Chains A and B, each alone.
Chain A
Amino acid sequence: MADGYKLPDDEFNSLREYIYKKSGILFTGRNRFQLEMKIRERLDKTGCGNIPCYIKYLGSPGSVELNTLFNTITVNETSFFRDRSFIATIEKNVIPEIIKTNRALGFGQVRIWSAAASSGEEAYTIAIMLAEQLKGELSKWSVRIFATDINDDVLKACRTGIYSSYSMRNAAPDIRQRYFRQLDSDRYEIRDDIKAMVIPGKCNLMDTEGSKKFNKLDLLLIRNVLIYFDAESKKKVLKTCYENLKPGGHMFLGHSETLFGFDNDFKLVHFVNAVGYRK
């Protein structure tokens, strides 16, 4: 049965080449099967019998199929307060430092970028942690947390700010209580003032120009996405990341990701059970 999904080698190769060029995402022998499963559905829906036809369709004027393809092939797993030691580090080390430096500068401005934000849980988590520490001062600060992704389906979810209890499974009960409003049996809406801090938008990380506007950052989260890229794309993205940070700003990758082996100017900072990269 699985055989029905299998693509001829040359078709698989041209498809993966195309996807790689557009998104930096690299499919290899290891995850070939996933791509084949997912692409089958697109071939059926678009009526394309094979990959050459599908690629032509992707490039035809006015086609939105490329979006749909991205929406189909990306892995969007995420949740609130994901990864305990990362969260503890942000709470104990990073946010207090951001607040301190910006206060010293005399203006309460914070710029944060959750690149590859998926449905936004990560961005809202940071917003909640900031609110917890700024307390009454919150309304006087200008906080911008850019939450971007290549997949516009997940961005839609990010815009609504409505989540299930499953995605909040790591949030403490009192956080759920204070920051969410239950809509019905399993839908919870995030508080308006938290929502106002987060700015969802579409951004393909391969688009260097488009990424540039998320600059002067205090904090950049680019978690659990570089794993899908090959070395070349990673290098390109990391260069933009470095440029987009303020001096002294921090970047965090996913839990077991590191920059080892990549020529870069970041300083490796060890926190308790977490590593960050400082410009």
Chain B
Amino acid sequence: MLENFKDKIQSLIEYLPPIPGVMNDLIKLLNAGNCDVREISDLIEKDPSLSVNILRIANSAFYGLPYKVSSLQQAVNLIGLKELASLCMFCSIGPALKPPAGMKTIDLKMFWRHSIATGIIAKIFCREFSIGVREDLYLAGLIHDIGKIIIDRSDHDVYSEVVRLTYDNNVSIGEAENKIIGESHSSIGSWLLEKWKLPRMFIETAAYHHSVRDASEEHRELVAVVSLADQIARLRGFGFGGDMRGTIINETEAFAIVRDGNPHVKDIDLAGFVMDLDRADSEISELEKIING
């Protein structure tokens, strides 16, 4: 195990680019949850590339809106204030974490693909099986693994070693991380999101998607759904990080928690659900295009 890796990571987080200005205001708004449509669209308009991205997402298959949206105000009205704010946040995270030119990194394209797939699968899962968690949970899916980027930024060779160990020894990524760096991407991700003062739901998803029981009661079900979606995305071939293990999904902690709140989930056709996820593919690639812009 590497000595002092934790200190290194923590100082890295100190030095990470601060949260972009617009985002900071948005997060305040997200946490408070009361402001009007004008206020938020004015805020977003200050950042032209953000505005463009928001309109593109609003018009994508992801929302399947009945007609084309051409102004931010319209988008806010249709998608809702909170959702839009979260969306902006997601759009800003990518650029905020962009590595300096020439730096060696993990395959960021695959990384975001996995994250997006997780978010979208979480959404589809809830819709299909009538699980009543908040509609914007997919945003939590989108940033659940953010800690991996931080570890990789701090030492790419070390993270490559983690991925290799995971694949070769058929162990979980958390196990490999603990063995090599003594910390997991879960805690590291949550430190960053805490520093950025994101709403609890995001911090907890990052922190507990591999140990769902530790989440607070308030957010446990949502974290569980994201955790399931994370597994399913991997098992659908949208994997990232070398984990190839088989999983008995309905014996996982996450599944048990979702089932506790939604007893009908016990009888769902899990094999069929995972096999038929082709329908998520176009949404995934559309969102991917926008994010990688």
Contact = CB atoms under 8 A, between A and B. Distances in A.
Contacts of A272: 234-237, 239, 244
A276 to B, nearest CB: 7
A260 B271 contact: yes
A73 B274 CA distance: 33
Interface in B219-238: 231-232, 234-237
A40 B126 CA distance: 53
B279 to A, nearest CB: 15
A85 B236 CA distance: 10
Contacts of A267: 248, 251
A270 B247 contact: yes
A264 interface: no
Contact of A269 (B232, B246, B269): B246
Nearest to B243: A272
Contacts of A85: 237
Interface in A62-107: 85, 89, 92-93, 96
Given A93-B244, A96-B170, A270-B235, A258 B275 contact: yes
Nearest to A277: B271
Contact of A268 (B237, B239, B245, B271): B271
A258 B271 contact: yes
A85 B244 CA distance: 12
Contacts of B251: 267
A271 interface: yes
A92 B244 contact: yes
Nearest to B268: A260
A260 B268 CA distance: 9
A191 B249 CA distance: 40
B244 A275 contact: no
A89 B246 contact: yes
Given A260-B271, A275-B274, A269 B244 contact: no
A267 B270 CA distance: 12
B250 interface: yes
B272 interface: yes
A93 B236 contact: no
Nearest to B249: A270
A97 to B, nearest CB: 9
Contact of B235 (A256, A259, A273, A278): A273
A196 B35 CA distance: 76
B244 A260 contact: no
Nearest to B235: A270
Given A259-B271, A272-B239, A278-B248, 16 more contacts: A258-B269, A258-B271, A260-B272, A261-B269, A267-B251, A268-B270, A269-B248, A270-B231, A270-B249, A270-B270, A271-B244, A271-B246, A272-B234, A275-B271, A275-B274, A276-B246
